[in-house]
């Protein structure tokens, strides 16, 4: 099996993020023609352009160049911490992370992708395991396995955290742990899995 080229890796990451060549070009201040040339390997990004491209695509520069090593620059999360987002910031973070104003970070000693973020749970659909106010760390780059907890989008703006259940190759269910909340089915609702829960924290309420 032939190894992917640099151009193919650039195209793969761009499409994984649902970005057009023009959108990537605007992020790194080059022409969309340059992005096209890089993907076709007529020319290749170097120096500052390579670093900016890797940042825009959320991956490691070394991986873009030769395909070796980790795809994501995971060391940044252990050095700087995982950003804590408001629910209203999730959509922008997933599409334009560098545009999100981060007010707080939490430290972790685990190697999560740089796309990872934390959010405070807003309901009790996962009780008694997780309660409103618990801190959840979500990794958008980690595909869920059946039985894992995921962050998903129900419709256009309703974020939910549920247990993931694969029902077929093309359908899945999102199940609450609290029976007072509804079961969601991708065959009946517009559901999009946004990330997998990789860490969960509960802090003692010092106000009580």
At 118 the pLDDT is: 96
pTM: 0.62
At 17 the pLDDT is: 75
At 168 the pLDDT is: 87
**pLDDT < 70 regions, the chain:** 1-3, 69-80, 205-208
192 token code pair: 């999009």
- CA–CA separation, 123 vs 120, rounded Å? 9
Task: Assign domain 76-201 to a CATH class.
Answer: mainly beta
The CATH superfamily label for domain 6-66 reads lambda repressor-like DNA-binding domains (1.10.260.40)
Residue ranges per domain, the chain?
6-66, 76-201
Nearest to 118 by CA among 156, 75, 85: 85
Answer positive or negative: Cα dihedral of 90, 61, 5, 1: negative
At 75 the pLDDT is: 44
At 80 the pLDDT is: 61
At 66 the pLDDT is: 85
The b-or-e profile of 9-43 (16+ CB within 10 A means b, else e) is: bbbbbbeebebebebbbebbebeeebbbbbbeeee
Instruction: Map residue 38 onto helix, strand or coil.
Output: helix
At 73 the pLDDT is: 53
At 186 the pLDDT is: 94
Instruction: Map residue 121 onto helix, strand or coil.
Output: coil
At 87 the pLDDT is: 93
CB contact at 8 A, 116 and 138: yes
């Amino acid at each position: 099996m032939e190894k992917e080229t640099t151009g193919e890796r650039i195209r793969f990451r761009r499409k994984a993020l649902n970005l057009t060549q023009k959108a990537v070009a605007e992020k790194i201040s080059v022409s969309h023609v340059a992005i096209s040339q890089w993907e076709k390997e007529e020319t290749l990004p170097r120096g500052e352009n390579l670093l900016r491209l890797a940042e825009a695509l959320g991956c490691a520069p070394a991986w873009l160049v030769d395909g070796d090593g980790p795809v994501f620059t995971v060391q940044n999360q252990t050095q700087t911490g995982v950003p804590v987002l408001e629910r209203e910031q999730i959509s922008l973070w997933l599409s334009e992370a560098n545009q999100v104003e981060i007010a707080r970070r939490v430290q972790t000693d685990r190697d999560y992708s740089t796309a990872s973020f934390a959010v405070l749970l807003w309901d009790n659909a996962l009780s008694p395991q997780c309660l409103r106010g618990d801190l959840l760390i979500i990794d958008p780059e980690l595909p869920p396995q059946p039985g894992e907890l995921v962050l998903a989008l129900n419709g256009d703006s309703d974020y939910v955290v549920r247990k993931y259940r694969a029902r077929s190759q093309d359908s899945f269910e999102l199940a609450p742990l609290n029976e007072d909340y509804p079961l969601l089915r991708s065959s009946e609702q517009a559901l999009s899995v946004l990330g997998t829960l990789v860490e969960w924290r509960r802090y003692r309420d010092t106000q009580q």
